């Protein structure tokens, strides 16, 4: 078999006569749903990609700060402060300032904030205990972090116990 030489002639396009209507121009190129029996055009819709907004992820430290702020706001008892509207500080009859309300079921605004700060500090102490376990090969650094974490936990525990003792009336302010 011999190969036939490929002709470089391009097929001639059909000439469009100027008097043809638009329907006559697209009749042969339009895809029909049921062939030639029912002349209803099939519409080919283009496929668009869904537009998604890609935002960069915030850094881990920014996320932790946001979580700690939310925890602080929740721990201060925002719902209690908004519903009950307690005073910020109290005072005795002689005019001395009271920072801790002497009833278990009531609290001043500053007392709620101080308790929340102490709880956040205690949480920080536990985070330091966890971080100390990461310094396996640097025992000196691990010991420093461990001691600081234990001290923070101990001091905040004593502070919270003091506040509870004043509230229950065991210790006077």
Residue predicted with more confidence, 67 or 44: 67
pTM for the whole thing? 0.59
What is the model's pLDDT at position 38? 61
For the chain, list the strands marked E by DSSP.
32-34, 38-41, 90-91, 97-98
**Residue found under tokens 């609290």:** 107
With pLDDT > 90 as the criterion, what percentage of the chain qualifies? Answer: 24
> Does residue 155 fall inside a structural domain?
yes
> Does residue 8 fall inside a structural domain?
no
pLDDT band at residue 60, thresholds of 50, 70 and 90? confident
Distance CA(169)–CA(163), nearest Å, equals 10
> Does residue 71 fall inside a structural domain?
yes
What is the model's pLDDT at position 104? 83
> Does residue 110 fall inside a structural domain?
yes
What is the model's pLDDT at position 9? 65
> Does residue 145 fall inside a structural domain?
yes
Residue predicted with more confidence, 73 or 140: 140
> Does residue 65 fall inside a structural domain?
yes
Weakest-pLDDT range from 37-41, 56-60, 106-110: 37-41
Number of domains in the chain: 1
| Residues of the domain holding 86 | 61-168
> Does residue 44 fall inside a structural domain?
no
> Does residue 6 fall inside a structural domain?
no
Residue predicted with more confidence, 120 or 43: 120
113-166 residue pLDDT tens? 899 899 989 999 999 999 999 888 889 999 999 999 999 999 999 999 999 999
Residue predicted with more confidence, 141 or 95: 141
Distance CA(54)–CA(112), nearest Å, equals 40
How high does pLDDT run on average in the chain?
A: 80
């Amino acid at each position: 078999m011999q190969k036939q030489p490929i002709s470089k002639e391009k097929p001639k396009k059909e000439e469009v006569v100027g008097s043809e209507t638009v329907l006559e121009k697209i009749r042969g190129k339009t895809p029909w749903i049921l062939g030639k029996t029912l002349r209803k055009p099939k519409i080919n819709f283009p496929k668009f990609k869904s537009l998604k907004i890609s935002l960069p992820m915030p850094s881990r430290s920014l996320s932790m700060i946001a979580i700690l702020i939310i925890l602080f706001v929740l721990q201060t008892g925002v719902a209690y402060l908004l519903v009950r509207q307690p005073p910020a500080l109290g005072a005795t009859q002689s005019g001395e300032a009271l920072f801790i309300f002497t009833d278990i079921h009531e609290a001043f605004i500053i007392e709620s904030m101080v308790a929340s700060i102490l709880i956040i500090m205690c949480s920080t102490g536990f985070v330091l205990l966890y971080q100390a376990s990461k310094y396996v090969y640097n025992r000196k650094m691990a010991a420093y972090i461990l001691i600081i974490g234990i001290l923070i936990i101990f001091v905040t525990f004593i502070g919270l116990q003091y506040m509870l003792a004043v509230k229950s009336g065991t210790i006077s302010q």
